[in-house]
Amino acid sequence: MSLTIKEIMTISPIVPVMVINNVEHAVPLAKALVKGGLKVLEITLRTPAALESIRRIKAEVPDAIVGAGTIINIETLNQAIEAGAQFIVSPGTTDKLIDAALATGVPLLPGIANPSDAMRLLEKGITAMKFFPAEAAGGVPMLKSIGAPIPQITFCPTGGVSQKNVKEYYSLPNVACVGGSWMCAANLVDAEDWDEITRLSAEAVQLATS
């Protein structure tokens, strides 16, 4: 049974935002994150290895729910779906992209940075959104402000979220999960330090929920 985007957002408190340069790292990285309690994974389409990484993780890490991020146009949308992405994430919104994404039926988490963006998506029936870039766009105070007049929107703030502020974001009533990358930082992946990635993932869950 397929999941809705809101169901996906409640599976783990943190969605790792992954930039994979070497496709051979994809599966061990995914396994390390899942072992640490982070089962919903966003692979950003910023590298040549991204699409094949989605394919391999979906095939070899059954406990993971793997999605594609940095969906910026219909081309990347179609590539992500062809690769098997179970959900798609965009950094912003255009009518053309959002309409095409909705037509696919694949769970969608579109990015917004202000109330006007949010209201445009609400008109299309979308109530789950990525708040990006979270810190640069006003952070926790902005999410509180948006939540007052538009309480029906559920957010995943991403961009500038760290160990220091993850609990502050996650504790907001209009936040279902947060996006972060510190637990899968490039230096750890390059060093293939899967144990440390698992440790940081488990710590991140504890930081957000304790």
Delineate the domains of the chain, giving CATH numbers in brackets.
Answer: 5-209 (3.20.20.70)
Marked catalytic residue, from 31, 130, 144, 203:
130
- 3-class state of residue 14 by DSSP: strand
* CA-closest candidate to residue 183, choices 24, 19, 50, 61: 19
**Residue 196 to residue 128: CA distance in whole angstroms:** 31
DSSP 8-state class, residue 184 = G
- The catalytic residue among 31, 39, 42, 58 is 42
- Residue 7 appears among annotated catalytic residues: no
Residues in the chain: 210
The answer to whether 75 and 49 are in contact (CB under 8 A) is no
**pTM: predicted TM-score of the whole model, two decimal places:** 0.96
Nearest residue to 88 via CA among 126, 29, 43: 43
- CA–CA gap between residue 44 and residue 137 (Å, rounded): 20
Whether 42 is catalytic: yes
| Digitized pLDDT (tens) for each residue of the chain, 210 residues in all | 589 999 999 999 999 999 999 999 999 999 999 999 999 999 999 999 999 999 999 999 999 999 999 999 999 999 999 999 999 999 999 999 999 999 999 999 999 999 999 999 999 999 999 999 999 999 999 999 999 999 999 999 999 999 999 999 999 999 999 999 999 999 999 999 999 999 999 999 999 999
